[in-house]
Structure 1
Amino acid sequence: MTGPVEYRTDARPSAEAYIDVVRRSGLGERLPVDDPALMQAALDASDIVVTAWDGDRLVGFLRAVTDFALICYLQELGVDAARQRDGIGLELQREMRALLGPRCKIRVSEAPGAAGYYGRHGYSRHDRSWELLPGEPLV
Protein backbone atom coordinates (compact mmCIF):
# COMPACT_ATOMS: atom_id res chain seq x y z
CA MET A 1 0.00 0.00 0.00
CA THR A 2 1.36 3.40 -0.94
CA GLY A 3 0.45 6.70 0.60
CA PRO A 4 0.44 10.31 -0.51
CA VAL A 5 3.77 11.81 -1.56
CA GLU A 6 5.33 14.85 0.09
CA TYR A 7 7.87 16.83 -1.97
CA ARG A 8 10.69 18.62 -0.17
CA THR A 9 13.44 21.02 -1.16
CA ASP A 10 14.38 22.00 2.38
CA ALA A 11 15.97 18.81 3.69
CA ARG A 12 18.61 16.62 2.09
CA PRO A 13 18.61 12.90 2.70
CA SER A 14 21.55 11.07 4.18
CA ALA A 15 23.85 9.28 1.75
CA GLU A 16 22.44 5.98 3.03
CA ALA A 17 18.82 6.93 2.29
CA TYR A 18 19.84 8.34 -1.08
CA ILE A 19 21.79 5.21 -2.03
CA ASP A 20 18.84 3.05 -0.98
CA VAL A 21 16.41 4.84 -3.30
CA VAL A 22 18.99 5.04 -6.09
CA ARG A 23 19.21 1.24 -5.96
CA ARG A 24 15.41 0.88 -5.88
CA SER A 25 15.08 3.25 -8.85
CA GLY A 26 17.31 1.19 -11.14
CA LEU A 27 20.06 3.83 -11.34
CA GLY A 28 22.33 1.96 -8.93
CA GLU A 29 24.21 0.31 -11.78
CA ARG A 30 25.45 3.64 -13.15
CA LEU A 31 26.18 5.50 -9.92
CA PRO A 32 28.92 4.77 -7.33
CA VAL A 33 26.55 3.37 -4.69
CA ASP A 34 29.45 1.44 -3.15
CA ASP A 35 31.05 4.75 -2.08
CA PRO A 36 28.80 6.54 0.45
CA ALA A 37 31.36 9.33 1.01
CA LEU A 38 31.39 10.16 -2.70
CA MET A 39 27.59 10.09 -2.87
CA GLN A 40 27.43 12.38 0.19
CA ALA A 41 29.91 14.78 -1.43
CA ALA A 42 27.71 14.91 -4.55
CA LEU A 43 24.63 15.64 -2.45
CA ASP A 44 26.44 18.32 -0.46
CA ALA A 45 27.72 20.09 -3.59
CA SER A 46 24.38 20.07 -5.40
CA ASP A 47 22.57 23.38 -5.76
CA ILE A 48 19.16 21.71 -5.83
CA VAL A 49 18.01 18.49 -4.20
CA VAL A 50 14.29 17.70 -4.43
CA THR A 51 13.00 14.64 -2.65
CA ALA A 52 9.71 12.72 -2.64
CA TRP A 53 8.63 10.99 0.55
CA ASP A 54 5.95 8.43 1.33
CA GLY A 55 5.86 8.91 5.08
CA ASP A 56 9.45 8.43 6.23
CA ARG A 57 10.44 6.43 3.11
CA LEU A 58 12.32 8.24 0.35
CA VAL A 59 10.64 7.24 -2.94
CA GLY A 60 12.05 9.77 -5.42
CA PHE A 61 14.90 12.20 -5.92
CA LEU A 62 16.25 14.89 -8.18
CA ARG A 63 19.71 16.42 -7.97
CA ALA A 64 20.82 19.44 -10.02
CA VAL A 65 23.69 21.90 -10.41
CA THR A 66 22.72 25.41 -11.52
CA ASP A 67 23.39 29.14 -11.52
CA PHE A 68 19.57 29.62 -11.21
CA ALA A 69 19.56 32.21 -14.03
CA LEU A 70 20.87 30.76 -17.30
CA ILE A 71 21.46 27.01 -17.01
CA CYS A 72 20.52 24.09 -14.81
CA TYR A 73 22.07 20.64 -15.24
CA LEU A 74 19.71 17.96 -14.00
CA GLN A 75 22.21 15.40 -12.72
CA GLU A 76 19.92 12.61 -11.55
CA LEU A 77 16.22 11.93 -11.49
CA GLY A 78 14.95 8.67 -10.09
CA VAL A 79 11.86 7.11 -8.58
CA ASP A 80 11.50 3.87 -6.64
CA ALA A 81 10.50 1.21 -9.21
CA ALA A 82 7.38 0.45 -7.16
CA ARG A 83 6.23 4.08 -7.56
CA GLN A 84 7.21 4.73 -11.18
CA ARG A 85 4.40 5.95 -13.43
CA ASP A 86 2.72 7.70 -10.48
CA GLY A 87 3.80 11.17 -11.73
CA ILE A 88 6.50 11.54 -9.08
CA GLY A 89 9.33 12.21 -11.56
CA LEU A 90 7.33 14.92 -13.31
CA GLU A 91 6.46 16.59 -10.01
CA LEU A 92 10.11 16.50 -8.89
CA GLN A 93 10.97 18.41 -12.09
CA ARG A 94 8.17 20.93 -11.48
CA GLU A 95 9.51 21.55 -7.98
CA MET A 96 13.01 22.10 -9.40
CA ARG A 97 11.77 24.40 -12.14
CA ALA A 98 9.91 26.55 -9.59
CA LEU A 99 13.30 27.35 -8.03
CA LEU A 100 14.82 28.55 -11.32
CA GLY A 101 14.70 31.94 -12.99
CA PRO A 102 12.27 32.44 -15.87
CA ARG A 103 15.01 32.25 -18.55
CA CYS A 104 16.92 29.32 -17.09
CA LYS A 105 17.39 26.33 -19.43
CA ILE A 106 17.42 22.77 -18.12
CA ARG A 107 19.84 20.21 -19.56
CA VAL A 108 19.91 16.50 -18.79
CA SER A 109 21.76 13.42 -20.05
CA GLU A 110 19.32 10.60 -20.58
CA ALA A 111 20.05 7.35 -18.74
CA PRO A 112 20.00 4.23 -20.92
CA GLY A 113 16.82 2.97 -19.26
CA ALA A 114 14.98 6.27 -19.75
CA ALA A 115 14.93 6.37 -23.54
CA GLY A 116 12.21 8.76 -24.66
CA TYR A 117 11.16 9.87 -21.16
CA TYR A 118 12.35 13.47 -21.44
CA GLY A 119 11.07 13.93 -25.00
CA ARG A 120 7.58 12.92 -23.82
CA HIS A 121 7.71 15.67 -21.21
CA GLY A 122 8.63 18.62 -23.41
CA TYR A 123 12.44 18.43 -23.60
CA SER A 124 14.15 18.97 -26.96
CA ARG A 125 17.11 16.81 -28.01
CA HIS A 126 20.46 18.59 -27.62
CA ASP A 127 23.48 16.99 -29.27
CA ARG A 128 26.22 19.54 -28.73
CA SER A 129 27.68 18.09 -25.55
CA TRP A 130 31.14 16.67 -24.91
CA GLU A 131 32.54 14.59 -22.08
CA LEU A 132 35.99 14.24 -20.53
CA LEU A 133 36.24 11.17 -18.32
CA PRO A 134 38.28 11.00 -15.10
CA GLY A 135 41.93 10.28 -15.87
CA GLU A 136 41.75 11.40 -19.48
CA PRO A 137 44.27 14.15 -20.23
CA LEU A 138 43.44 17.54 -21.66
CA VAL A 139 45.56 17.84 -24.82
Structure 2
Amino acid sequence: MSGALVYGLEPDLDAESFQAVLVESGLAPRRPAGDRARLDRMLRASDLIVTARLDRRLVGVARTLTDFAFCAYLSDLAVARDCQGRGIGRGLIEETRRAAGPETSLLLTAAPGVEGYYEAIGMPRLTNAFRTDRER
Protein backbone atom coordinates (compact mmCIF):
# COMPACT_ATOMS: atom_id res chain seq x y z
CA MET A 1 0.00 0.00 0.00
CA SER A 2 1.56 3.27 -1.03
CA GLY A 3 0.93 6.52 0.79
CA ALA A 4 0.04 7.34 4.36
CA LEU A 5 -2.87 5.47 5.95
CA VAL A 6 -4.34 7.36 8.91
CA TYR A 7 -7.13 6.24 11.21
CA GLY A 8 -9.08 8.87 13.07
CA LEU A 9 -12.24 9.75 14.95
CA GLU A 10 -14.48 11.95 12.80
CA PRO A 11 -17.71 12.68 14.70
CA ASP A 12 -18.59 15.38 12.17
CA LEU A 13 -18.17 13.24 9.04
CA ASP A 14 -20.53 14.59 6.38
CA ALA A 15 -23.21 12.54 4.65
CA GLU A 16 -21.73 13.12 1.18
CA SER A 17 -18.40 11.55 2.19
CA PHE A 18 -20.15 8.67 3.94
CA GLN A 19 -22.31 8.10 0.86
CA ALA A 20 -19.22 7.97 -1.37
CA VAL A 21 -17.57 5.28 0.79
CA LEU A 22 -20.78 3.24 0.88
CA VAL A 23 -20.87 3.32 -2.93
CA GLU A 24 -17.14 2.65 -3.35
CA SER A 25 -17.30 -0.28 -0.92
CA GLY A 26 -20.27 -2.00 -2.52
CA LEU A 27 -22.33 -1.62 0.65
CA ALA A 28 -24.69 0.96 -0.88
CA PRO A 29 -27.41 -1.55 -1.91
CA ARG A 30 -27.73 -2.59 1.75
CA ARG A 31 -27.94 0.98 3.06
CA PRO A 32 -30.13 4.01 2.22
CA ALA A 33 -27.26 5.43 0.17
CA GLY A 34 -29.56 7.44 -2.09
CA ASP A 35 -31.11 9.32 0.84
CA ARG A 36 -28.49 11.80 2.01
CA ALA A 37 -30.79 13.27 4.69
CA ARG A 38 -31.21 9.82 6.22
CA LEU A 39 -27.45 9.17 6.03
CA ASP A 40 -26.94 12.46 7.87
CA ARG A 41 -29.40 11.37 10.59
CA MET A 42 -27.52 8.08 10.88
CA LEU A 43 -24.21 9.89 11.31
CA ARG A 44 -25.53 12.47 13.79
CA ALA A 45 -27.05 9.75 15.98
CA SER A 46 -23.85 7.70 16.02
CA ASP A 47 -21.69 7.59 19.12
CA LEU A 48 -18.46 6.72 17.34
CA ILE A 49 -17.29 7.25 13.76
CA VAL A 50 -13.85 5.90 12.93
CA THR A 51 -12.37 6.65 9.52
CA ALA A 52 -9.45 5.47 7.43
CA ARG A 53 -7.81 7.93 5.06
CA LEU A 54 -5.18 7.05 2.50
CA ASP A 55 -3.29 10.17 1.44
CA ARG A 56 -6.25 12.14 2.88
CA ARG A 57 -8.76 10.26 0.67
CA LEU A 58 -11.54 8.72 2.76
CA VAL A 59 -11.31 4.97 2.08
CA GLY A 60 -13.05 3.48 5.11
CA VAL A 61 -15.69 4.14 7.73
CA ALA A 62 -16.78 2.27 10.85
CA ARG A 63 -19.99 3.69 12.35
CA THR A 64 -20.90 2.51 15.85
CA LEU A 65 -23.64 2.94 18.42
CA THR A 66 -22.33 2.47 21.97
CA ASP A 67 -22.71 3.38 25.63
CA PHE A 68 -18.89 3.18 26.13
CA ALA A 69 -19.56 1.10 29.26
CA PHE A 70 -20.93 -2.30 28.22
CA CYS A 71 -21.89 -2.73 24.56
CA ALA A 72 -21.12 -1.42 21.09
CA TYR A 73 -22.93 -2.17 17.84
CA LEU A 74 -20.76 -1.66 14.77
CA SER A 75 -23.53 -0.84 12.32
CA ASP A 76 -21.47 0.02 9.24
CA LEU A 77 -18.03 -1.17 8.18
CA ALA A 78 -17.23 0.04 4.69
CA VAL A 79 -13.89 0.00 2.85
CA ALA A 80 -13.51 1.18 -0.75
CA ARG A 81 -13.17 -1.84 -3.05
CA ASP A 82 -9.81 -0.70 -4.44
CA CYS A 83 -8.43 -0.70 -0.88
CA GLN A 84 -9.93 -3.97 0.36
CA GLY A 85 -7.58 -6.81 1.25
CA ARG A 86 -5.05 -4.47 2.85
CA GLY A 87 -6.07 -4.78 6.50
CA ILE A 88 -8.06 -1.54 6.59
CA GLY A 89 -11.27 -3.22 7.79
CA ARG A 90 -9.36 -4.94 10.57
CA GLY A 91 -7.73 -1.62 11.47
CA LEU A 92 -11.12 0.11 11.62
CA ILE A 93 -12.42 -2.60 13.94
CA GLU A 94 -9.32 -2.35 16.17
CA GLU A 95 -9.64 1.45 16.36
CA THR A 96 -13.36 1.10 17.12
CA ARG A 97 -12.64 -1.34 19.94
CA ARG A 98 -9.95 0.94 21.32
CA ALA A 99 -12.24 3.99 21.25
CA ALA A 100 -15.25 2.12 22.69
CA GLY A 101 -13.11 0.93 25.58
CA PRO A 102 -12.15 -2.36 27.20
CA GLU A 103 -15.46 -2.74 29.05
CA THR A 104 -17.51 -2.99 25.86
CA SER A 105 -18.30 -5.99 23.72
CA LEU A 106 -18.49 -5.37 19.98
CA LEU A 107 -21.35 -6.80 17.95
CA LEU A 108 -22.02 -6.57 14.22
CA THR A 109 -24.21 -8.11 11.56
CA ALA A 110 -22.23 -9.33 8.56
CA ALA A 111 -23.42 -8.71 5.04
CA PRO A 112 -24.30 -11.95 3.26
CA GLY A 113 -21.26 -13.61 1.75
CA VAL A 114 -18.63 -11.95 3.94
CA GLU A 115 -19.13 -13.86 7.17
CA GLY A 116 -15.84 -15.67 6.58
CA TYR A 117 -13.94 -12.38 6.73
CA TYR A 118 -14.97 -11.80 10.34
CA GLU A 119 -14.13 -15.36 11.31
CA ALA A 120 -10.72 -14.99 9.61
CA ILE A 121 -9.89 -11.93 11.72
CA GLY A 122 -10.83 -13.77 14.92
CA MET A 123 -14.39 -12.65 15.61
CA PRO A 124 -16.51 -15.56 16.85
CA ARG A 125 -19.84 -16.30 15.17
CA LEU A 126 -22.90 -16.00 17.41
CA THR A 127 -25.81 -18.39 17.36
CA ASN A 128 -27.90 -16.59 19.97
CA ALA A 129 -28.56 -13.22 18.36
CA PHE A 130 -31.98 -12.09 17.14
CA ARG A 131 -33.35 -9.10 15.25
CA THR A 132 -36.41 -7.62 13.69
CA ASP A 133 -36.07 -6.16 10.20
CA ARG A 134 -36.76 -2.50 9.46
CA GLU A 135 -39.93 -1.64 7.63
CA ARG A 136 -38.15 0.60 5.13
TM-score calculated relative to the size of structure 2:
0.91
Q: Which runs of 5+ in 2 are unaligned?
A: none
Question: In the TM superposition, what is the alpha-carbon distance from 1:114 to its structure 2 partner?
Answer: 1.4
Is the Cα contact below 8 Å between 1:9 and 1:49 reproduced in 2? yes
Which position in structure 2 is the counterpart of 1:19? 19
Q: Extract structure 1 runs of 4+ deviating beyond 6 A.
A: none
* Matched residue, 2:99: 99
Match of 2:119 in 1: 119
Q: Which residue of 2 aligns with 1:37?
A: 37
Contact preservation (8 Å) 1:62, 1:75? yes
Query: Counterparts of 2:118 and 2:104 in 1: how far apart (Å)?
Result: 17
Offset of 1:133 from its aligned partner?
A: 2.8
How far apart are the structure 1 equivalents of 2:134 and 2:82?
34
Q: Do 1:7 and 1:92's aligned partners in 2 also have CA atoms closer than 8 Å?
A: yes
Q: Which residues of structure 1 form unaligned runs of 5+? A: none
CA contact (8 A) 2:11 2:48 kept: no
How well do the aligned residues superpose, as a CA RMSD in angstroms?
Answer: 1.8
User: CA–CA distance in 1 between the matches of 2:11 and 2:108?
Assistant: 23
| Percent of residue pairs identical | 37
Cα distance, 1:93 vs. partner?
1.0
Aligned residue for 2:110, secondary structure, equals coil
Superposed counterparts of 1:41-120, under 5 Å: 41-120=41-120
**1:99 to partner: Cα distance:** 1.4
> CA deviation digits over 1:50-71, x for unaligned, max 9?
0011233210010011111211
Contact 1:25 1:79 in 2 (8 A): yes
Once residues 116 and 56 of structure 2 are traced to their aligned partners in structure 1, the CA distance between those partners, rounded to angstroms, is: 31
- Deviations along 1:2-50, one digit per CA (max 9) or x if unpaired, are 5221111045321011101110001011000110000010011111100
Q: How many residues align?
A: 136
TM-score, normalization: structure 1? 0.89
Taking the aligned partners of 1:79 and 1:12, their CA distance within structure 2 comes to: 19
Change (3 A) 1:86 1:127: same
